[in-house]
Amino acid sequence: MFFIRMMNDMKMKKKLAITFISAAVLPLLLSGLFLTGKLREIVINDAFIQLANNVERVRKRTEELIKVPLNISYRLTIDNRMKMVAAQKYESYAEVIQAYREYTDIRDYIQLYKEISSIRVYVVNSGALNNWEFIQPDNTIMAEAWYKEAIEQKGLAGWNLIKDERNGSQQLSLIRSFPVDSLGEKGVLAINVDKQQLRSILDQESFTTLIVDDRNRVVGSNEAEFFGKNLSEIDGDEKILSRQEGSYNTVVNGKASKVIIANLNPENSWNGLRIISIFSVSEITRDANQVIRLGAVVITVSLIFAVLLIYASASLLSSRLLRLSKHMSKVGSGAWETYLQIDGKDEVGLLSKQFNALLRSVHDLVQEVQETNHQKNLVEQRQNEIKFKMLASQINPHFLFNSLESIRMEAHIRRQDDIAEAVWLLSTLLRSSLEAGNGNIPLREELERVRCYLEMQKFRYEDRLEYRLTVDPGLEEHPVPPFIIQPLVENSIVHGLDNREEGAVIKVEVKRIPQGVQVKVCDNGAGFPAERLASIRAELAVSVHEQESQRIGMRNVNDRLVMLYGTSSALSIGSEPGKGTYITFFIPGGATND
């Protein structure tokens, strides 16, 4: 009551403004905020999925790349000719040069495999020479951590960012020790992974992607400034230094970011690599924010235009009402001979005219009453006409069914029996769809709906479609949820007929089993590959509460079965490419109507 009294006491302009803000501005703002949040969430989730796929792709391609030096290292460590060249005692430099010239395997590997850029063999041999393939390790090299680790690991491969003595650059290299002779002398093999090949893998990524070794040194990156740096130099948290797998949210360089890490452990290696991909939330949502800002501008301009229009309309209405109020005040003071002319055919204009008519007929009470009754009758007649037009303009299901029946009869008259049959099937299907409620229905009604649907499809596909409905005796009245079989039949037609030129056979079998009733829908269509079938089964296995509630098809049927009868009644799908697909489910015998 207080609110109504307050609204009645409020000026017209303010009342229209509050009404407009409540009915238009606030819902629009709330909807905009909600949709903006959803848009950002969708964009971030899509970027996260893309990032995870990119990381996995980089991991696999990097694994394929480093398999080449790994295989070459295995071949060289068992190559007796290489060991002999490296460890042989030479009498002169000419003999050394001749031995190096005759052994071409290392040069052949480098020319044959683009995945590697160089191969170096470190063996202590005072009589040998350094030719950048066979190198005499000095005290500085032997003091390096990577050299010591290779000797200690006894033949396992290691991956490190080491310096190449030829050009002084650091490169991702495979390090591996090998026995030189039977006396236990060991050498070290170093194979550089080609930078360009590694860079070509990373350059395809749109987000910052790094490959780091077990010392957190960046051995590969699609951003050149990160190469060779330690992860601790990047402005991030401690998780990025120690975490091996998974994803998490963090702050990098002052920006909210998402990080995904994948581990790469090559076979027969004492250490591995990590693939790290980082994307900034602000960069991902930049385009979405531009769309949001553009939408905000459009909405703001629209609101300003609407406010101006409302203000102009309110001002026009209030000024006319004020003129009418002043005129009524004059009449109240005794000026019965004054008349008011307000243009327009709306309520205000009509009110002014009625007021003038009241003034003209005030001397005759009877005429005033008659005129009032006459106006009342006109108003009632107008209302009745409006109601009649509203009722006549409504299209309800009965009108639709009657129209379809008229079309069907006309088709019969013209001896178009197939069209008449199709219209009857459509009418039956529409009626059953409109009349379907939330409760269970007899199985025969559901099968009749399926039969109508299949007959309509036969009207479309003609002899390309065949179907068989088989029901065990006594099951016709068994209660089932509505639209529990028809979506599966529709799915079979889509996958079984649309992809086959020679047509398809759809079978629906309903059998009695000890637990209740088993329903099987099968076709002889194209079937699903094993990967697609596994994907469908995994999707149907997701919890009902994690799925959208307004979806149709197999997901909808599966969700209703699980919610009504438990997981044991869920859809079971089998398929073979080229042989077809079958879907089964069962309804417990103790099911009752909802």
Mean of pLDDT values over 72-85: 89
pLDDT of 284 strictly over 50: yes
pLDDT band at 305 (very low <50, low <70, confident <90, very high): confident
pLDDT at 292: 72
Provide, rounded to the nearest whole percent, the portion of the chain with pLDDT above 70.
Answer: 73
**Which of 225, 253, 284 corresponds to the end of one domain?**
284
- Over residues 227-233, the mean pLDDT reads 82
User: 584: Cβ–Cβ under 8 A, 6 or more apart, which residues?
Assistant: 518, 519, 520, 521, 571, 572
Residue partners of 482: CB distance under 8 A and separation at least 6: 436, 437, 440, 441, 445, 446
SS (H, E, C) 266-317: CCCECCCEEEEEEEEHHHHCHHHHHHHHHHHHHHHHHHHHHHHHHHHHHHHH
Query: Which among 520, 522, 429, 506 has a CA at the least distance from the CA of 472?
Result: 520
Least confident of 281-295, 386-400, 489-503, 579-593: 386-400
Count the Cβ atoms, other than its own, within 10 Å of residue 295: 14
How many CB atoms are closer than 10 A to CB 264? 17
In this model, does residue 100 exceed pLDDT 80? Answer: yes
pLDDT, tens digit, 9 for 90 and up, residues 356-369:
777 677 646 646 66
Q: Is the pLDDT at 392 greater than 50, yes or no?
A: no
Let me know if 24 is exposed, middle or buried by CB neighbors in 10 A (0-12, 13-18, 19+): middle
Detail the DSSP E strand segments found in 419-515.
441-442, 465-471, 479-480, 504-513
Q: Is 15 exposed, middle or buried (0-12, 13-18, 19+ CB in 10 A)?
A: middle
From CA 560, how far away is CA 567, in angstroms rounded?
A: 10
pLDDT band at 551 (very low <50, low <70, confident <90, very high): very low
pLDDT, greater one: 398 or 371: 371
For residue 297, count CB atoms less than 10 angstroms from its CB and return exposed for 0-12, middle for 13-18, buried for 19 or more.
Answer: exposed
Highest mean pLDDT among 21-35, 219-233, 385-399: 219-233
Q: How confident is the model at residue 497 (pLDDT cuts 50, 70, 90)?
A: low
φ/ψ of 167, rounded to 5, equals: -125, 0
Q: What pLDDT, on a 0 to 100 scale, did the predictor assign at position 13?
A: 65
Lowest mean pLDDT among 249-258, 344-353, 497-506, 532-541: 344-353
First to last CA, the chain: 43
Q: Which of 264-273, 303-312, 346-355, 478-487 has the lowest mean pLDDT?
A: 346-355
Instruction: Give the residue-averaged pLDDT of 286-294.
Output: 68
Ranges 51-55, 187-191, 404-408, most confident: 187-191
Q: What is the pLDDT of residue 246?
A: 81
User: Would residue 352 count as lying in a domain?
Assistant: no
What is residue 235's DSSP assignment? S
Mean pLDDT of 571-590: 86
Could you tell me if 490 and 528 are in contact, meaning their C-beta atoms sit under 8 angstroms apart?
Answer: no
At residue 36, does pLDDT exceed 70? yes
What does the alpha-carbon distance between residue 330 and residue 339 come to, in Å, rounded to a whole number? 10
- Predicted local confidence at residue 423, as pLDDT: 62
Give the C-alpha separation, 333 to 324, whole Å. Answer: 14
Q: How confident is the model at residue 366, as a pLDDT?
A: 43
Q: What mean pLDDT do residues 87-99 have?
A: 84
Query: What CATH number has the domain bearing residue 513?
Result: 3.30.565.10
Q: Is the pLDDT of residue 378 over 60?
A: no
Q: Name the β-bridge partners of 189.
A: 121, 176
* In a domain? residue 516: yes
CB 271 within 8 A of CB 150: no
pLDDT score of 550 more than 50 = no
- The pLDDT of residue 430 is 60
- Report which secondary-structure segment, H or E, holds 259: strand 255-264
pLDDT digits 0-9 by tens, 463-472: 788 889 999 9
Domain stop point among 284, 301, 318: 284
Whether the predicted pLDDT of 552 surpasses 70: no
Task: Report how far apart, in Å, the C-alpha atoms of 491 and of each of 26, 297, 481, 550, 584 are.
Answer: 43, 44, 18, 17, 13
Yes or no: say if 159 and 215 are a contact pair by the CB < 8 Å rule.
no
* Three-class secondary structure of residue 550 per DSSP: coil
177 part of a folded domain: yes
pLDDT of residue 583: 94
Model confidence at 521: pLDDT above 90: yes
pLDDT for 591 equals 41
Highest mean pLDDT among 84-93, 404-413, 473-482: 473-482
Counting Cβ atoms within 10 Å, is residue 506 exposed (0-12), middle (13-18) or buried (19+)?
buried
The CATH number for 110's domain is 3.30.450.20
Answer whether residue 395 shows pLDDT above 50: no
Query: Whole domain around residue 495: which residue ranges?
Result: 468-588
Longest alpha-carbon distance in the chain: 147
Number of structural domains (the chain) is 2
Task: Encode burial over 445-478: b for 16+ CB neighbours within 10 A, e otherwise.
Answer: bbbbbbbbbbbbbbbebeeebebebebeeebeeb
pLDDT value for 383: 39
For helices 486-496 and 554-565, the axis angle rounded to 10 degrees is 150
Which is nearest to 56 in space by CA: 245, 331, 335? 245
- Whether 431 has a pLDDT exceeding 60, the answer reads no
> Is residue 195 assigned to a domain?
yes
Total-model pTM: 0.47
Q: Give the mean pLDDT of the chain.
A: 77
Does a structural domain hold residue 334? no
User: H or E stretch including 405?
Assistant: helix 397-413
Token pair recorded at residue 480? 């089932």
The answer to the question of residue 358 being in a domain is no
Q: What is the pLDDT of residue 390?
A: 34
| pLDDT over 60 at 394, yes or no | no
pLDDT in tens, 251-269: 777 777 888 888 888 988 8
* CA trace torsion 8, 13, 16, 18 (10° rounding): -80
pLDDT exceeds cutoff 60 at 416: no
Q: What is the pLDDT of residue 543?
A: 58
The residues, ordered by sequence, that sit 6+ positions from 493 with a Cβ below 8 Å of its Cβ are: 457, 465, 504, 506, 523
The residue out of 245, 265, 284 marking a domain boundary is: 284
Residue with tokens 């987000």: 207
Task: Please report whether residue 447 resides in a domain.
Answer: no
Per mean pLDDT, which of 292-301, 345-354, 370-379, 418-427 is the most reliable? Answer: 292-301
Nearest-angstrom CA–CA distance, 131 and 99: 12
- The reported pLDDT for the residue numbered 546 is 47
Q: Is residue 424 part of a domain?
A: no
Residue 569 DSSP one-character state = G
Helix (H, G, I), strand (E, B) or coil at 260: strand
pLDDT at residue 178 tops 80: yes
Could you read off the pLDDT of 139-165 as tens digits, one per residue?
Answer: 888 899 899 999 998 889 999 888 887
Quote the CA–CA distance of 279 and 276 in Å, as a whole number: 10
For residue 210 the two structure tokens come to 């790094």
> What are the tens digits of pLDDT across the range 39-75?
767 877 777 787 788 888 888 999 999 999 999 999 9
Q: Judging by DSSP bridges, how do beta strands 441-442 and 572-576 pair with one another?
A: unpaired
Residue 190 confidence (pLDDT): 93
